[in-house]
Structure 1
Amino acid sequence: MSAASFTPCLTGIEGLDHVLAGGLPPNRFYLILGDPGVGKTTLSIQFLLEGKRQGERTLYVTLSETRDELTEVARSHGWSLEGIDIVELSAIAQQLTEDSESTLFHPSEIELNEITRVILDEVERVQPQRVVLDSLSELRLLAGSALRYRRQLLALKQFFSGRKTTVLLLDDGVDVARDLEAQSIAHGVVTLQNLAPDYGAERRRLRILKLRGVNFRGGYHDYLIRPGGIEVFPRLVAAEDRKPSHQGRLTSGVAGLDSLLGGGLDAGTSNLLIGPAGTGKSVIATIYALAAAKRGERVEIFSFDETRALFLARAAFVGTDLTTYIENGTIRVTQIDPAEVSPGELAHRVRNQVREGVRLVIIDSLNGYLAAMPEEHHLTLHLHELCSFCSAHSATMLMLGEQTGLIGHMQMPIDLTYLADTVILLRHFEAQGELRQAISVMKKRSGAHERFIREMSVSQHGVRVGEPLSDFHGVLSGTPFFHGDPSKMINKRDG
Structure 2
Amino acid sequence: MVIFLFKFIAYVSRNHSYRYKRARCSAQGGLLRGHTYLLVGVAGSGKTILSIQWLLEGVKNGEHSMFISMAEPADQLQANVSGFNWDLSGIRIVDLSPNGKPEVVEEYHVLTPEEAEPGHTWQAIYDAIEQFDPQRLVIDSVTFMSYLSTDTFQFRKQLLAFVNYLKGKRCTAFLIYEPEEMSRDASLPLTVDGVIMLRKTLSSSKVLDIRSIEVQKLRGRDYWSGLHPLRITQEGIIVHPHLIEKMHTPSLSNAKISSGISRLDEMLHGGIEVNTITLLTGPTGVGKSSLAMQFALSAAREGRKVVYYSFEETPEFMILRAAGLGQDIVPYIDKSLIQLRHINPLELYPDEFLNMIRSDATANTSVLVIDSIRGYRLAMEQFGDMDAHIQNMVNFLKTAGITAFFINELEYISSTAIRLTELGISFIIDNALLLRFAEYKGSIIRIIGCIKKRLGSFEPEVRELRMDKNGLQLSDKLPCCSLFGGTVGETTIAS
1:265-316 alpha-carbon deviations (Å, 9 max, x no partner): 1111112111110111100111111112222221111110112221111111
Structure 2 residue 456 is the aligned partner of structure 1 residue 471: no
> Corresponding residue for 2:18?
none
Q: For the residues of structure 2 that align with 1:12 and 1:190, how far apart are their CA atoms?
A: 11
What CA deviation, in whole Å up to 9, does each residue of 1:116-160 have, x standing for no partner? 111111011110100011112222334353222222221211110
Paired with 2:94 and 2:236, the residues of 1 have a C-alpha distance of 22
Structure 1 residue 417, shift from structure 2 partner: 0.7
| 1:4-15 alignment, distance < 5 Å | 13-15=6-8
Which deviations, in whole Å up to 9, do the C-alpha atoms of 1:223-269 show, x marking residues without a partner? Answer: 11111111111113322876546662211111122222221111111
Match for residue 385 of structure 1? 392
Work out whether residues 245 and 392 of structure 1, in 8 Å CA contact, stay in contact via their aligned partners in 2: no
1:311 aligns with 2:309: no
Amino acid in the other structure paired with 1:137: T
1:370 aligns with 2:368: no
Does residue 135 of structure 2 align to residue 137 of structure 1?
Answer: no
Q: How many angstroms does 1:75 deviate by?
A: 2.7
- Which segment is superposed worse, 377-386 or 418-427? 377-386
Q: Quote the offset at 1:463 in angstroms.
A: 0.8
Query: Of 48, 57, 60, which aligns to 2:64?
Result: 57
Decide which of 149, 156, 180 is 2:162's aligned counterpart.
Answer: 156
Tell me the equivalent position of 1:347: 354
1:103 equivalenced with 2:93 (yes/no)? no
Q: Is contact 1:254–1:463 with CA below 8 Å preserved after alignment?
A: yes
Matched residue type, 1:85: R
1:88 partnered with 2:107: no
| Contact 1:245/1:393 (<8 A) preserved | no
Output the CA distance in 2 between the equivalents of 1:245 and 1:233: 31
Flag the 1:281–1:176 CA change in 2: closer, same or farther, 3 A: farther
Match of 1:183 in 2: 189
Which of 183-192 and 102-111 deviates more? 102-111
Q: Which residue of 2 aligns with 1:99?
A: none
* Contact persistence 1:112–1:139 (CA under 8 A): no
| Aligned twin of 1:439 | 448
1:340 and 1:167 map into 2 onto residues whose CA distance is 34
Root mean square deviation of aligned Cα = 2.6
1:376 Cα deviation (Å)? 8.5
Comparing 120-129 with 184-193, greater Cα deviation is found at 184-193
Partner of 2:457 in structure 1? 448
Return the offset for 1:168: 0.7
Offset of residue 407 of structure 1: 0.8
User: Partners in 2 of 1:441 and 1:317 — Cα distance?
Assistant: 26
Matched residues, percent identical? Answer: 30
Cα distance between partner residues in 1 of 2:215 and 2:462: 51
Displacement, 1:47? Answer: 0.6
User: Which has the larger displacement, 182-191 or 244-253?
Assistant: 244-253
> Could you tell me how far 1:372 is from its partner in structure 2?
2.9
Contact 1:34-1:174 at 8 Å conserved across structures:
no
Greater mean alpha carbon deviation, residues 111-120 or residues 341-350: 111-120
Change (3 A) 1:75 1:324: farther
Asked whether the 8 Å contact 1:107–1:138 carries over to 2, the reply is no
CA distance in 1, matches of 2:87, 2:305: 40
Match of 1:218 in 2: 225
Aligned to 1:490: none
**Which segment drifts farther, 462-471 or 368-377?**
368-377
Give the direction of change, closer, same or farther, for the CA distance of 1:364–1:481 in structure 2 (3 Å limit): closer
CA contact (8 A) 1:74 1:80 kept: no
Q: Which residue of 1 aligns with 2:26?
A: none
Structure 2 residue 294 is the aligned partner of structure 1 residue 296: no
Q: State the 1:180 CA deviation.
A: 2.1
> Any conservation in 2 of the 1:276–1:406 contact (CA below 8 Å)?
yes
Moved more, 191-200 or 33-42: 191-200
CA distance in 2, matches of 1:68, 1:112: 27
Give the direction of change, closer, same or farther, for the CA distance of 1:169–1:243 in structure 2 (3 Å limit).
farther
Q: Which runs of 5+ in 1 are unaligned?
A: 1-9, 95-101, 485-495
Distance change >3 Å, CA 37–CA 417, structure 1 → 2: same
Unaligned residue ranges in structure 2 (runs of 5+) = 13-21, 24-28, 107-112
- With over 3 angstroms needed to count, the CA separation of the structure-2 counterparts of 1:86 and 1:267, relative to structure 1, is same
Which residue number corresponds to residue 44 of structure 1? Answer: 51
Answer with 124-133 or 254-263: which moved more: 254-263
* Residue of 417, 422, 435 corresponding to 1:426: 435
Which amino acid is 2:211 matched to?
R
* Mean Cα deviation higher: 371-380 or 22-31: 371-380
Kindly state the Cα deviation for residue 103 of structure 1 after the two structures are TM-superposed.
3.2
SS of the equivalent of 2:280 reads strand
Q: How far 1:437 moved relative to its partner? A: 1.1
Query: Could you tell me which amino acid in structure 2 is paired with residue 323 of structure 1?
Result: V
What SS class does the counterpart of residue 331 from structure 2 fall into? helix
Q: Relative to 1, partners in 2 of residues 1:291 and 1:18: Cα closer, same or farther, differing over 3 Å?
A: farther
Give the TM-score taking structure 1 as reference length.
Answer: 0.87
Describe the shift of the 1:240–1:416 C-alpha distance in structure 2 as closer, same or farther (beyond 3 A): closer
How many equivalent pairs are there?
A: 464
TM-score, normalising length from structure 2? 0.87
Post-superposition Cα deviations, 1:376-411, rounded to whole Å, max 9, x if no partner, equal 972222122211212222111111111111111465
**Range that drifts further, 39-48 or 229-238:** 229-238
Q: Which of 21, 27, 30 is the aligned partner of 2:34?
A: 27
Whole-Å separation in 2 of the counterparts to 1:160 and 1:414: 54
Report SS of the residue matched to 2:377.
helix
* Cα distance in 2 for residues equivalent to 1:29 and 1:240: 37
Question: Any idea what the Cα deviations from partners look like across 1:9-47, whole Å, max 9, x if unmatched?
Answer: x97644455779741122101111111112111111111
Deviation at 1:66, TM superposition (A): 2.5
Cα distance in 2 for residues equivalent to 1:61 and 1:105: 22
Alignment pair present for 1:227 and 2:244: no
Alpha-carbon contact 1:173-1:179 (below 8 Å) kept:
no
- Contact 1:29–1:187 (CA under 8 A) maintained in structure 2: yes
Q: 1:489 matched to which residue of 2?
A: none
Question: Which residue of 2 is the match for residue 5 of structure 1?
Answer: none
